[in-house]
Amino acid sequence: MSGTTNTSLYTGEIDYQNVQSAQNILSYWTLPLTSLTANSGSVTLPSGSSSLAAIDTGTTLIGGPSDEVAALYALIPGSTAGTGNFEGYYVYRTSSSIPLLISY
Is 9 within a domain? no
The pLDDT tens digits for 13-70 are: 888 777 666 566 656 677 788 888 998 899 988 877 777 777 776 777 777 778 888 9
All residues at 6 or more sequence positions from 104 whose CB lies less than 8 Å from its CB, including other chains:
17, 31, 32, 33, 34, 53
Is 4 within a domain? no
pLDDT level of residue 84 (50, 70, 90 thresholds):
very high
All residues at 6 or more sequence positions from 13 whose CB lies less than 8 Å from its CB, including other chains:
none
Is 74 within a domain? yes
Which domain does 79 fall in, by range?
A: 15-103
Give the pairing of strands 35-38 and 100-103: antiparallel
For the question of whether the overall pTM of this predicted structure is more than 0.75, the answer is: no
Q: How far apart are CA 56 and CA 53, in angstroms?
A: 9
All residues at 6 or more sequence positions from 38 whose CB lies less than 8 Å from its CB, including other chains:
72, 75, 76, 98, 99, 100, 101
Is 5 within a domain? no
| Residue 80 confidence (pLDDT) | 92
Is 53 within a domain? yes
Number of compact structural domains in the chain: 1
The Cα angle at residue 80 between residues 77 and 84, in degrees rounded to 5:
155
3-class SS of residue 7: helix
Residue 1 pLDDT exceeds 60: no
Count of residues making up the chain? 104
Is 78 within a domain? yes
Is 77 within a domain? yes
Is 32 within a domain? yes
Q: How far apart are CA 16 and CA 33, in angstroms?
A: 15
